[in-house]
């Protein structure tokens, strides 16, 4: 898969665009103190950048959704699973949930299930760097860095943590 990688893209302009869009949305909704949660691994990298740029007061949370995946009985447990860390009480918080690539929607379904095992947030806003086609669940992003229309054999993946680069590859 790696050897057929055929293009690489800088994420800096996309994260800049995300920061602007998040600020506009927070202002429009009158949300003063949101909490940001990034999904391991790529979402957490993006969330670190956004959290810093937005100077959010609530510390950044990170979710590893391995224990909430819907393919456990097929794929088993991932030995590289990281503990989730949510250093805040999420009850009644406005959550900015961040992931790198939104594809089938299954990761977001698992992440929301896990979040609700920690408490009852006031709202969840879904922020993604890339929104690609191929949804299998009725889950849509609120804030998007870029949309991409890819063929089923094409893949987009965030590589990091430094530098962060989007790698587009073709497995056909």
Partner 1 sequence: MKRDNIQLNDQGRLRHFLTIEGLSRALLTEILDTAESLTSVTEQSVKKVPLLRGRIVVNLFFEASTRTRTTFELAAKRLSADVLNIHIAGSATSKGETLLDMLANLEAMHCDMFVVRHDRSGAAHFIARHVAPHVSVINAGDGSHAHPTQAMLDMFTIRRLKGDFYPLTVAIVGDIMHSRVARSQIHALTTLGVNEVRVIGPRTLIPRDIESLGVHPYYDMKSGLQDVDVVIMLRLQNERMSGAMLPSESEYYSRYGLTEEKLSLAKPDAIVMHPGPINRGVEIASSVADGPRSVILQQVTHGIAVRMAVMSMALGNPPLRQEGTP
Residues that bind partner 1 (CB under 8 A): 64, 66-68, 72-73, 75-77, 79, 81-86, 113-114, 116-119
- Taking the least distance from each CB to partner 1, the nearer of 15 and 85 is 85
Taking the complex as a whole, how short is the minimal distance between the CB of residue 29 and partner 1, in angstroms?
26
CB of 117 to partner 1, least distance (A): 4
Nearer to partner 1, 86 or 143 (CB): 86
Task: Provide the minimum distance between the beta carbon of 108 and partner 1 in the complex, in angstroms, as a whole number.
Answer: 16
Q: Which is nearer to partner 1, 30 or 152 (CB)?
A: 152
CB closer to partner 1 out of 85 and 170: 85
Cβ at position 77, least distance to partner 1 in Å: 4
Residue pair 101/77 in contact (Cβ under 8 Å)? The answer is no
Helix axes 42-54, 12-29, angle to 10 degrees: 60
């Amino acid at each position: 898969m790696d050897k057929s990688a055929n293009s690489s893209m800088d994420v800096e302009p996309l994260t800049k665009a995300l920061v602007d869009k998040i600020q506009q949305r927070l202002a429009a909704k009158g949300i003063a103190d949101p909490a940001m949660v990034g999904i391991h691994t790529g979402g957490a990298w993006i969330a670190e950048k956004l959290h810093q740029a937005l100077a959010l007061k609530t510390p950044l949370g990170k979710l590893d959704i391995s224990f909430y995946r819907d393919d456990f009985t097929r794929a088993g447990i991932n030995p590289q699973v990281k503990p989730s860390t949510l250093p805040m009480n999420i009850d009644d918080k406005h959550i900015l949930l961040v992931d790198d690539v939104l594809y089938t929607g299954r990761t977001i379904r698992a992440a929301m299930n896990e979040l609700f095992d920690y408490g009852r947030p006031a709202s969840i806003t879904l922020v993604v760097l890339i929104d690609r086609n191929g949804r299998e669940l009725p889950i849509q992003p609120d804030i998007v860095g870029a949309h991409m229309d890819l063929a089923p054999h094409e893949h987009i993946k965030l590589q990091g943590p430094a530098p962060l680069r989007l790698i587009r590859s073709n497995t056909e």
